Chain A
Amino acid sequence: MKNTLRWAAMALGLGLWLGFGGAGLAQDEAPSTPTPPPAPVSAANTTTADHSKFEILQQQFASGPEVTAACLSCHTEADDQVMHSIHFQWEYESESGQLLGKSNVINAFCGNVAGNEPRCTSCHAGYGWDDMSSPPPQQSTAVDCLACHDRSGQYTKSATGAGHPPLDPVKPGTQTITGAPAWAVDLTSAAQSVGMPGRENCGNCHFYGGGGDNVKHGDLSSVLFNPPLAVDVHMSPEGENFTCSTCHVSDQHQWAGSRYDVAATDHPDIKPGAGRDTASCESCHSETPHPNTLMGMKINDHVDVVACQTCHIPEFARGGVATKTVWDWSTAGRLDADGKQIHEENFIQSDGAALHTYLSTKGDFEWGENVEPIYAWFDGHVEYTTGDQTIDPAAVVEVNRIHGEAGDGESRIWPFKRMEGRQAYDSVNNRLAYSHVWGPTTDTAFWTNFDWSKAIEAGMKAAGAEYSGEFGFVDTHMYWPITHMVAPAEDAMDCAECHADDSRLAGLDGIYMPGTQSMSVVGMLGRLMVLAALAGVIGHGLIRLVTRRKGGSHE
């Protein structure tokens, strides 16, 4: 019963949020009485400490950092550990030496963090990072323990507060990181509630990446707060009821399974009791997950070249929350006759919600539900078109490039969401442009003044990039590996989705697949041979008929 109430409330909150989805960051809608969601139900409680009994937590905290200071009085190494994690650094050096991570890359959504800090850094696992040209704040209390460890359910971060929570008195119009009207966070009850991260802790940022529910990933949406079994067998309460960290295991606050560092192929040690350090399917299911039947063995034969996700996530954005599939920035800035912002809501989600398809602030969008992924060989390595790389504006620019090929021993065929974008670039230097979109008080922010030349100039300056002063818009593709929303086994992709002439894998290099080349040269030769034999015997028979003789006899 308690559970039902809780989810009803969550759904209500979600409905409220969706109502505001179209507004993006508009600050004119005032909610009646913003209410925090109820406390989530934690899974198995394995702790031996009740934090509400700790004296240091029995005080009135005036800010997030004050709570962190209290945490660190016992958890002496936590700040150092968190500060070295990608959650805090927003920086990742790839195998090929590219400096990636949120603080560096340009994406096909809001583009870039630089210049838009207090907004984008609202989801930083820290407090007060308001300038991307400097590293995140270095004082130990800049770490946000509660974002991940609050179990009271009412801790949140303000959408534009560089990571700080909304505190009493909350300025009217303030939103939380999920787009809900903000309430005043009670830091004391949050501090006394701490525990291991639940899905709400992760989801409040990761389900809303790109500016709204499921906008970015396609396989990470608010549906995963309480998914039906058909949407996610691992996270559904009817299934395994996993939290995120059941798979994304951690060691000293470093998480396995970053999108920047994917284990595309895993050869795990699954002996009983063996530790896991990879967020891969194989780390639990082994490399021979199917039963020891003829069919099971045949399917196991696929595992070396086909990622589990490819068959077991036939579609993403399932469960009733759509994902953004096209974002055309070039049409942004159109205003109506009165100079007011335009918004159109022409996509009706399966739950009835109307999603924005045009916003003056962001341009045109398309959405998709139950989207069929595209497929590519993937070795886990992704290279980005960073702001210093030269692009060819005549072609579609790959914002990130999926590495891997058949037969390299590391790559497998993986599913991806392909985000199609049209975004700004420096048309003289032929480089993707950074833009300054958020800034209610600046005269350069696009969302305030709708002037691309000022917005790009300010964005390039914030990112420390050279800018010619000329800009244009270029078509882009960005790829997101699909790995969540694993369907029940009986809903796994049918063989014929790939083993057919109109295969989902059509066009993929380096594969020979039965069923895909029935019209090959050898196939045609074979047909000719059979036809010739038929023609031969029919001809032979006809001549026998015409000569009216049954043919020789022994008599």
Chain B
Amino acid sequence: MSRFHGRAGAPGITQGTVLVYDPMVPTSGPRKIPHEEIPAELERFAVALKTTDTGIQEARGRIADELGEDHAKIFDAHRFILNDQTLLSRTRDMIHEGWSSETAYTEACEEIYRSFAALGGGLGDRGGDLRDVERRVLSHLQGRRASGLRHLPDPVIIVARDISPSDTATMDRSKVLGFITERGGEASHSVILGRSMGIPVVMGVEGLVDHVQNGDEAILDGHTGTFVLHPDEKTLVGFEDLVKAYDDLERDSLRYKDFPAETRDGRQIELLANIESPNEVTATRKHGAAGIGLYRTEYLYLTAEEAPSEDEQFEAYRMVLEGMNPDPVIIRTMDLGGDKVASYLNFPREDNPSLGWRGVRFALGNIGLFKTQLRAIYRASAYGNLRLMVPMISQVEEIRRVKSLIGEVKAELNNTGHPYAEDSQIGVMVETPSAVVIAHMLAREIDFFSIGTNDLIQYSLAIDRDNSYVQHMYDPFNPAILRQIKRAVKAGKNGGCWVGICGELPEDPLFVLLLIGLGLDEISASAYRIPELKRVIRNITYDQAKNLIKSAWSYSTADEIRRNVRRLAIRKFPELKEILNRYQGVQD
């Protein structure tokens, strides 16, 4: 038996067998494959070609819509290159000789570059187009290899160096008991996913992958960040007691789920749930959410082999809107880019993806794709209470451009006779420091703000949340962050907007007390947390929460705030002592 300690990512405790997920990093050098794998390798290559072909055809359609038939013709050439028999038979020959698809295809392309180079200049850049096609094929080859979580035979605890959104997009969620990763911080994707699925996540256990093997028995405790490999009898018995203790606590909170989220002095907080797919609607109802505060639509794109059509998207949005009606549903438009990339979308390689082509920037660079989504959303708006939210806004021009596209989409829907809700609200996520600074200007353009804590912290404190050297500095209690939120709330309210917060709310309920004191109107969190949040809200008054945040302004470090304000909170709200204390020891 051996114990490993990491940081608690998402609560819960589970026992089961381990699956080590360690997708190969694309090799830069040549790679050989065993003889018996040749037929499978040929098949893998064929699939990658087919996916690439679909991707090119889609790109062609998009470009034809956006820029005209003229510009789209180059994609015909790309398809001819892709299906070029010289290139393909050379590749297949090399696979038959026992080379991997990547090695074979790279080499076959290389031979063609050499024949082009021999021609000399004067005829334009032939190599560039081949390079483009080659990149597409290789990315599909790698993408396919990385989707090893699609078919899981039995329920497993996944052990990985890191988990990316693309990994989990195609994962068979019904078979995942928990995650434990070597990397990853408080707001990394595995944590977000774990919380939304209600399964334990532990992170930051360096070197773990080398210590475990597929099929090993283990216990994973997401409350304390512990991982026990090959547990003995005694530990297993203790495990059962622990599970019971956690269940009791959860049951206690569950009693609050059907009460309104209202403070003792009558301030209503809109308490909504984050979701990634329409299937989660029932679960949010079960936990007592008063609507959806963040529907992450990018998962529609990440889980597909090709961009979802307008009708497919319409169906998904309609299901959510109709299922929640008359409660509000905040649909966030595609937040792609950064670490959320789909291979068919052909993202460029970026040195700094977090500062790159993501969120609304990507959407406005792919007008065809974006308008398809907007059309689907507005068509679905006829079925419920839509609020549209745009991510990653950093300047006023962006929201104006989005609004004008919405105008175009509505005009198109008028022409085609599709009904839509005229008066749906439009809002932006406040998650960049610039959005906070110009919040009063943004407020004039829209109906609401939703503060995206993860990115606001990452950008304001200049911390890469997946970098284990700096992630300990990632702290929502940082005095700079609390002041950013205060500023955004004030600017929003002065400009007639209501202000909410969404994303992965820190586990510590003390943070929620501060948010309420700051005057937030709405809070969106993972559904499973809603009962406990109601319990917290129903045991306080707004005035008391305002006093708490007032006391926080006098401290200059996150630790001072946490320690002193917690002490004050416990004195004021003895009913919450147990919940507030639970989070005292966890942080190290």
A, B co-complexed: no
